Amino acid sequence: IWNSRVVPTARDTAIPIDTVVAALEKDPTVAGKEYGHDVGGAYSFLVHLSGTVTKVDTSSPTGTITVNVPFSGTTLPVKVQIGPVILGTSIRDALKFITFEQFLNQMQYGSVADQMNTKVQQTVVSKLNLKTLEGKRIDVRGAFTYDGTNPKDLLVTPIIVTLG
Protein backbone atom coordinates (compact mmCIF):
# COMPACT_ATOMS: atom_id res chain seq x y z
CA ILE A 1 0.00 0.00 0.00
CA TRP A 2 3.03 2.32 0.12
CA ASN A 3 2.80 3.64 -3.46
CA SER A 4 -0.95 3.19 -3.89
CA ARG A 5 -2.20 4.65 -0.59
CA VAL A 6 0.49 6.02 1.76
CA VAL A 7 2.35 8.32 -0.64
CA PRO A 8 -0.83 9.74 -2.26
CA THR A 9 -2.42 10.34 1.15
CA ALA A 10 0.69 12.20 2.39
CA ARG A 11 0.91 14.19 -0.84
CA ASP A 12 -2.78 15.16 -0.86
CA THR A 13 -3.68 15.62 2.82
CA ALA A 14 -0.57 16.76 4.72
CA ILE A 15 -1.22 19.95 6.73
CA PRO A 16 1.43 22.73 6.78
CA ILE A 17 3.53 22.15 9.88
CA ASP A 18 3.26 25.76 11.01
CA THR A 19 -0.54 25.40 11.09
CA VAL A 20 -0.30 22.24 13.23
CA VAL A 21 2.29 23.69 15.63
CA ALA A 22 0.32 26.92 16.12
CA ALA A 23 -2.82 24.89 16.83
CA LEU A 24 -0.96 22.61 19.28
CA GLU A 25 0.35 25.66 21.13
CA LYS A 26 -3.16 27.04 21.42
CA ASP A 27 -5.03 23.84 22.40
CA PRO A 28 -3.52 20.38 21.83
CA THR A 29 -6.84 18.55 22.12
CA VAL A 30 -8.58 20.74 19.55
CA ALA A 31 -5.51 20.54 17.27
CA GLY A 32 -5.45 16.76 17.56
CA LYS A 33 -9.12 16.40 16.72
CA GLU A 34 -8.93 18.84 13.81
CA TYR A 35 -5.64 17.81 12.18
CA GLY A 36 -4.51 14.54 13.70
CA HIS A 37 -5.45 10.93 14.24
CA ASP A 38 -5.86 9.56 17.78
CA VAL A 39 -4.28 6.16 18.36
CA GLY A 40 -4.20 5.03 21.97
CA GLY A 41 -4.53 8.56 23.36
CA ALA A 42 -1.73 10.13 21.28
CA TYR A 43 -2.30 12.22 18.20
CA SER A 44 -0.28 11.68 15.03
CA PHE A 45 -0.22 14.19 12.19
CA LEU A 46 0.54 14.15 8.47
CA VAL A 47 2.48 17.35 7.86
CA HIS A 48 4.14 19.32 5.08
CA LEU A 49 7.26 21.40 5.70
CA SER A 50 9.68 23.34 3.55
CA GLY A 51 12.91 24.94 4.62
CA THR A 52 16.69 24.81 4.63
CA VAL A 53 18.71 21.89 5.96
CA THR A 54 20.94 23.32 8.69
CA LYS A 55 22.38 20.12 10.12
CA VAL A 56 22.94 16.52 9.08
CA ASP A 57 23.54 14.27 12.09
CA THR A 58 24.72 10.77 11.20
CA SER A 59 26.58 10.21 14.48
CA SER A 60 24.11 7.51 15.57
CA PRO A 61 22.01 4.87 13.81
CA THR A 62 18.93 7.05 14.46
CA GLY A 63 20.28 9.95 12.40
CA THR A 64 18.36 13.13 11.68
CA ILE A 65 18.52 16.23 9.58
CA THR A 66 17.41 19.57 10.98
CA VAL A 67 15.30 21.73 8.69
CA ASN A 68 14.70 25.38 9.56
CA VAL A 69 11.09 26.12 8.66
CA PRO A 70 9.52 29.61 8.65
CA PHE A 71 7.25 30.03 11.70
CA SER A 72 5.62 33.17 13.12
CA GLY A 73 8.26 35.59 11.84
CA THR A 74 11.16 33.37 12.93
CA THR A 75 12.28 29.82 12.18
CA LEU A 76 11.29 26.51 13.69
CA PRO A 77 13.98 23.80 13.68
CA VAL A 78 12.32 20.50 12.72
CA LYS A 79 14.17 17.20 12.94
CA VAL A 80 13.52 14.67 10.17
CA GLN A 81 14.56 11.04 10.56
CA ILE A 82 17.21 9.76 8.14
CA GLY A 83 18.29 6.62 10.01
CA PRO A 84 19.55 4.17 8.91
CA VAL A 85 17.31 3.10 11.82
CA ILE A 86 13.88 4.73 11.52
CA LEU A 87 11.95 4.57 14.79
CA GLY A 88 8.35 4.89 15.84
CA THR A 89 4.85 4.36 14.55
CA SER A 90 4.05 7.90 13.37
CA ILE A 91 3.32 7.05 9.76
CA ARG A 92 1.04 4.13 10.57
CA ASP A 93 -0.71 6.11 13.29
CA ALA A 94 -1.24 9.23 11.17
CA LEU A 95 -2.99 7.25 8.43
CA LYS A 96 -6.68 7.06 9.24
CA PHE A 97 -7.22 4.10 6.90
CA ILE A 98 -5.06 1.80 9.08
CA THR A 99 -6.68 0.66 12.31
CA PHE A 100 -5.82 -1.93 14.95
CA GLU A 101 -9.08 -3.76 14.23
CA GLN A 102 -7.76 -4.77 10.79
CA PHE A 103 -5.19 -7.08 12.41
CA LEU A 104 -5.27 -10.25 14.47
CA ASN A 105 -2.97 -8.96 17.20
CA GLN A 106 -0.51 -6.32 18.35
CA MET A 107 2.40 -8.13 16.66
CA GLN A 108 0.82 -7.79 13.21
CA TYR A 109 -0.16 -4.18 13.88
CA GLY A 110 3.38 -3.37 15.02
CA SER A 111 4.82 -5.09 11.97
CA VAL A 112 2.97 -2.64 9.72
CA ALA A 113 4.80 0.28 11.36
CA ASP A 114 8.11 -1.54 11.04
CA GLN A 115 7.53 -2.23 7.35
CA MET A 116 6.62 1.40 6.69
CA ASN A 117 9.82 2.54 8.40
CA THR A 118 11.75 0.11 6.22
CA LYS A 119 10.08 1.64 3.15
CA VAL A 120 11.16 5.10 4.33
CA GLN A 121 14.77 3.94 4.45
CA GLN A 122 14.61 2.07 1.14
CA THR A 123 12.59 4.50 -0.98
CA VAL A 124 13.05 7.94 0.58
CA VAL A 125 16.27 8.30 2.59
CA SER A 126 18.38 6.06 0.33
CA LYS A 127 17.90 8.56 -2.52
CA LEU A 128 19.37 11.47 -0.52
CA ASN A 129 23.05 12.40 -0.68
CA LEU A 130 23.52 13.16 3.01
CA LYS A 131 27.04 14.52 2.44
CA THR A 132 25.76 17.40 0.31
CA LEU A 133 22.38 18.03 1.96
CA GLU A 134 23.36 20.78 4.41
CA GLY A 135 22.40 24.25 3.15
CA LYS A 136 19.91 22.93 0.58
CA ARG A 137 16.20 23.70 0.37
CA ILE A 138 14.02 20.70 1.09
CA ASP A 139 10.33 19.89 1.00
CA VAL A 140 9.09 17.07 3.24
CA ARG A 141 5.75 15.40 3.67
CA GLY A 142 5.73 13.06 6.60
CA ALA A 143 4.30 12.23 10.00
CA PHE A 144 4.96 12.92 13.65
CA THR A 145 3.33 11.94 16.90
CA TYR A 146 2.76 14.66 19.48
CA ASP A 147 4.00 13.53 22.88
CA GLY A 148 2.02 16.12 24.83
CA THR A 149 4.98 18.20 25.95
CA ASN A 150 6.62 20.72 23.63
CA PRO A 151 4.78 21.30 20.32
CA LYS A 152 7.98 22.72 18.83
CA ASP A 153 10.08 19.63 19.61
CA LEU A 154 9.28 17.65 16.48
CA LEU A 155 10.63 14.46 14.97
CA VAL A 156 9.11 13.89 11.54
CA THR A 157 9.30 10.58 9.71
CA PRO A 158 9.49 11.41 5.99
CA ILE A 159 7.22 9.89 3.35
CA ILE A 160 8.04 12.21 0.44
CA VAL A 161 11.21 14.33 0.16
CA THR A 162 11.92 16.77 -2.65
CA LEU A 163 15.06 18.88 -2.96
CA GLY A 164 15.12 22.43 -4.29
pTM, two decimals, is 0.96
pLDDT at position 164, please? Answer: 87
Q: How far apart are CA 99 and CA 141, in angstroms?
A: 21
Q: How far apart are CA 48 and CA 30, in angstroms?
A: 19
Q: How far apart are CA 150 and CA 101, in angstroms?
A: 31
Mean pLDDT by 10 residues, the chain (164 residues): 97 98 97 96 97 98 98 96 97 96 94 97 96 98 95 96 94
Q: How far apart are CA 102 and CA 85, in angstroms?
A: 26
Strands (E), 58-109: 62-71, 74-84
